[in-house]
Amino acid sequence: MHGYILTLEKTETEEGGGDSPAGGNGDADKYRPSYNKNPQSTSPVLLSQRHFDKDAPVDERVLASMRWGLVPSWFKEDDPSKMRYSTSNCRSENILEKKSYKDPLKKGQRCVILADGFYEWKKQEKGKQPFFIYFPQTQGSSQEKTNLNQDEPTTPARKKKNSETGCPAEEASSDFKERGEAAGDWTGWKLLTMAGLFDCWTPPDGGEPLYSYSVITVNASPNLQSIHDRMPAILDGEEEVRRWLDFGQVKSLDALKLLKSKDILTFHPVSSIVNNTRNNSPECLQPVDLNSKKEPKPTASGKMMMSWLTSSSPSKRKEPNTCERKEERESKVQRKSTGAIQQWIQGTNKKPRVK
């Protein structure tokens, strides 16, 4: 994946400071929505608390603010921007071959990047068409349901024909309309959980340590191959997340077996405004109709997404109030997003802890 991740970012007043990027379970509310992230920006990353406290319970997790683009601990320059190669993404097949990734893997420095979805660009005769890619959103798509009902089958990804034909927005968003909006009980966005590696670099002359990460990628699943040949390594469900983070019991070679191409994501085309990361608003996510030259009308997918982002209750299907203050809208979006993150922090902590 070389696209931009849609996720949250730490508020400026909370960035930096201290030897650890972790802020504990209460740190989730210190993030704000970001609809168009780029490498070198900060993101909330999930990891085991044992990286900072060896006596912590094996299932305790913590949310940490890290820079997207891994800076190896052995990097000798005084400025990470002087790195001559990109580490935003790490190919799964190269992890054991490249020192930048092999060392963190051996140390058990595995993490999970939380995001609503990611953007990817499909090459065309004239330029590139961006797509937003994410978990299918179904009835009760909240993370809590994913955690507590592991026996329920996952929703199948979109049929391959949609991917091969470029899927118009109306068709691409049909799962929202048929499974979510009609039922009226959609409970919130199901976050993507992507496998990653992190490291901690300290400037040669001293100073604040920098925690950074790389998103691990695998070959694209069949339904995404027409868009791009790579995709993030998706950890599907609580058990896979637990095994990836448990660097004590799950050894590196066993953890690598989780990194497989999985045909479980869906997508829709979006506007080219996402090509510029200075454009950072919910409009970036709005589905567009590739077959129409006119300004697209809001689709069922777009309405549901925008309703969740702007309404005071995820279950209410109301349109944004144009008179509502910007600060109030941002606050509501932040509460919804951090709520989903909070559930992943808790994870298996809802069960009896073990030492």
Separation CA 41–CA 352 (nearest Å): 36
- Residue 220, pLDDT score: 97
User: Is residue 117's pLDDT more than 60?
Assistant: yes
What is the DSSP pairing of strand 230-232 with strand 128-134? Answer: unpaired
More confident residue, 139 or 151: 139
Cα atoms in the Cβ-side hemisphere of radius 13 Å centred on 25: 11
Mean pLDDT along residues 217-242: 96
User: Is residue 252's pLDDT more than 60?
Assistant: yes
- Residue 33, pLDDT score: 84
More confident residue, 252 or 11: 252
User: Is residue 254's pLDDT more than 80?
Assistant: yes
Q: Which parts of the chain fold into alpha helices (H)?
A: 99-106, 143-148, 160-165, 169-172, 174-175, 238-245, 252-256, 300-310, 326-346
Give tens-digit pLDDT for 278-290. 999 999 999 999 8
Cα atoms in the Cβ-side hemisphere of radius 13 Å centred on 156: 5
Residue type for 272, please?
A: S
Share of the chain above pLDDT 90, in %: 50
Q: Which domains does the chain have, with CATH numbers?
A: 3-9+27-116+189-263 (3.90.1680.10)
Residue type for 305, please?
A: M
Give tens-digit pLDDT for 22-77. 655 545 556 678 899 989 999 889 999 999 999 998 889 999 999 999 999 999 99
Q: Are 216 and 194 in contact (CB under 8 A)?
A: yes
Q: From residue 345, how far is each of 26, 78, 194, 235 by CA, in Å?
A: 10, 33, 14, 15
Separation CA 211–CA 66 (nearest Å): 5
Give tens-digit pLDDT for 168-192. 433 444 443 343 343 445 556 789 9
- Residue 11, pLDDT score: 57
